[in-house]
Chain A
Amino acid sequence: MSKVQEVAAAVENGKVKIVAGLVQEALDEGVSADEILNVGMIGAMGVVGEKFKNNEIFVPEMLIAARAMKKGIEVLTPALKAAGSEPIGKLILGTVAGDLHDIGKNLVGMMIEGAGFDVIDLGVDVPAEKFIECMKANPDCKIVALSALLTTTMPAIKNTIDAIVASGLRDTVKIMIGGAPVTQAFADEVGADGYSEDAASAAELAKKLLAETK
C-alpha cells in the first residue's frame, strides 16, 4: 500500500491519531501535497460519503473521518500553500432565520469541506441580510447553501432567496437548499438551483453547481 493510500485508509477509518504522521511521511517521501489532498483526503471523504449515503456507516464514523482529515490538513497546509494550491471553490452555508437546528447543516459543511471547498459557516438562525453581507464580502463565493429543519421555517428559505434576488446578487451565485422537510419540488418552487437529501449528496451537488459556474 502506498503512503497516500495509507493516508486515505486512515482518513476513511477515522484514525485521528496517526493521520498527521502518515501525511508527514508521505510529504517526506516526496509525494506532492496536491496528491495527498486529492487522493488521501478528498478521495477518502468521497468514499466516506458514499458509505454514509448507503447506511454502511453513520454519523459518528463520518465525524471521526472528518476529524482525521482535519488533522491531516493541519500538516498539509504549509505544503499546499507553498505549492500555490487553492480550495476548489468557496461556499456560504447557514441555517435560515428562525431555525436553530445545526446538526444536518454541520454535516453538510463537513462533507463539502471534505470535497475541497472553503466553507464559510454563518451558523444558525441567520437572517437574509447576513447571507447578503457575506456574499458582498466574498465576491469569489459561487455557492450559497441554505438549511431548514422545520416546515415552519421553510418559508425563510424562500425569503432568503427573494432577498438575494432583490439585492441584485442572484446571478452571481448558485443556491442549494436542504433539510428534513425540503424537497426538489420545494426547491423548484422557491427558485433554488439544487436540492440534496443528505450530506454526501450535498457535496456532490456543490461540485456540480460549481462546475456550472465555470
Chain B
Amino acid sequence: MDIKEELKVVGELDGVYFNSFSFGKAPKYNTPITPKENFLRFMKGKDYMWTPCSADFVTIMPSILPDNVSRAFVYDTQAFDILPTAKDMFGVEWEYVASAGGAMVRPGNPVLVPDICEWEKYVKFPDISSYDWEGAKERFKNVVNDDRVVVSWVFNGLFERLISFMEFENAALALIDEDEQEYVHSLFSRLCDMYDELFDKLHTYLNVDIVYFHDDWGSQRAPFFSKAVADEMLVPYLKRVCDSLHKRGMFIDFHSCGQVEILVPAMIEAGVDIWSGQPMNDRKRIMTNYGDDIKLNLAPDMSYAMPSSQEEAAEFARKAEESIKTFINDYKPYMKSMVVSAMSAGNPKLYELVYAATREAYSK
C-alpha cells in the first residue's frame, strides 16, 4: 500500500456551481477502488478501505426543482443567480436573507394552510414528473457518472414542510393537538407519496445515492418536541422516507439542526443511515452509544473568515490545516461511525489527511 501514490491526482472531474459560485474542477485520485464502491462497502460495514470523505462526494441540487431555487440552494452545472423571492413546489414564497445565507418564509406572510383540518382544500401537490428531468439528466451526465457518491438535498422535510405551510407555532401545536393530529398524519402520509416520486426521479435521472433530507427538529438548547411526539407524529413517516430510499439502494443523510441528542433513537428507529447534526450535541457520546446503528456526518470547524488577500490566504490555509489535524486527532477512534462532510469537498488537504489516516488504520 502506497498512500502517497493513491493520493496522486490522476484526472479532473467536472465541478458544479453553488448558485453563482464555481467550485471548479474536482480532483480524481488514484484510489484502489472507486469512491462510490468504497462508500457502499462502508455503509454495509464490510471491506471498506477508508472513511468516505469530502471529495468522494458530489452535491447536486438542480435548478429544475422550485424548492432548490426558492431556498437559494442550487448546485447545478451552470451558474444560478439567487432570486430575492421565489415560490417553492407548493407555491409558498421564500425570501432570500443575505445575512443568513439562505431563504426563509417571512413571518406574518399569509399562510398556505390556515386550518390543518382542511389542508386538502389549500394544498395543491406538485406534478413531480412535470419538471425537466431529461434536461437535467443531460446537463449533469458528466457529474453524476464518474464514480463519486452523488448527494442531493431535499428541502423541506416533513416538519419543516408543515412549518412552511402554517408557521412554526401552529405547526408545533398541531403535533400535539388531538383535534389536529389526524390531519397532520394524513398530510405527512401524502407528502411521503410525493417524496417517493421525487426520490425515484432523483435516482433514475440523476443517479443520486444519498438524499440529504432536511428537517430541523430542534433549537440550540433543546429539541422542538419530545421523543414521544417524534415517535407518534414523525417517525412513521420518516420511516417511509427511509424505506423509499432504501428500496432503490439509496441512503438518507438526515439533516437536523439543534440539540436533538434525545431524538437520535427516533432517527434510528426510522431507519436513518447518517445524521448531520450540530456541534452542541455530544457527538462522540452518540457515536459511542449508537455508532453501530447510525453514522454521523462531521466536518472540521473552519468557520473563520474567508481570506480576501494573499497574506490572509496563507493564514487561512495554515488555520485550516491546523483545524483538520485537530479534527482527525479528536475523531480518529470514531472514523468507522462517521463520514466527513461532502460540503468540505473543496478542501484537498482534508481529503488527503482523512484518507491517509483511515486508509492506514483500516489496512491493519
Residues of A within 8 A of B (CB): 14, 55, 57-61, 63-64, 67, 98-104, 106, 123-124, 150, 152-153, 180, 197-198
Contacts and interface: CB of A to CB of B under 8 A. Distances in A.
11 contacts: A14-B176, A58-B225, A59-B225, A61-B176, A98-B97, A100-B97, A100-B100, A106-B169, A150-B99, A152-B100, A180-B220
Interface in B153-169: 168-169
Contacts of A64: 173, 176-177
A153 to B, nearest CB: 5
Contacts of A55: 222
Interface stretch (B41-49, B59-67, B102-110, B187-195): B102-110
Nearest to A148: B99
B326 interface: no
A60 B229 contact: yes
A153 B99 contact: yes
A102 B107 CA distance: 7
B219 interface: yes
A104 B169 CA distance: 10
Contact of A180 (B169, B177, B219): B219
Determine chain A's interface SS by DSSP, over half rule.
loop
Contact of A57 (B99, B108, B226): B226
Interface residues of B, number: 24
B224 interface: yes
A58 B229 contact: yes
Contacts of B219: 103-104, 180
Contacts of A180: 219-220
Contacts of A101: 104
Contacts of A14: 176
B172 interface: yes
A196 B132 CA distance: 49
B256 to A, nearest CB: 14
Given A100-B104, A152-B99, A198 B229 contact: no
Given A101-B104, A150-B100, 12 more contacts: A55-B222, A58-B222, A61-B226, A63-B169, A63-B172, A98-B97, A100-B95, A100-B104, A102-B168, A123-B107, A124-B106, A198-B221
Contact of A99 (B99, B172, B224): B99
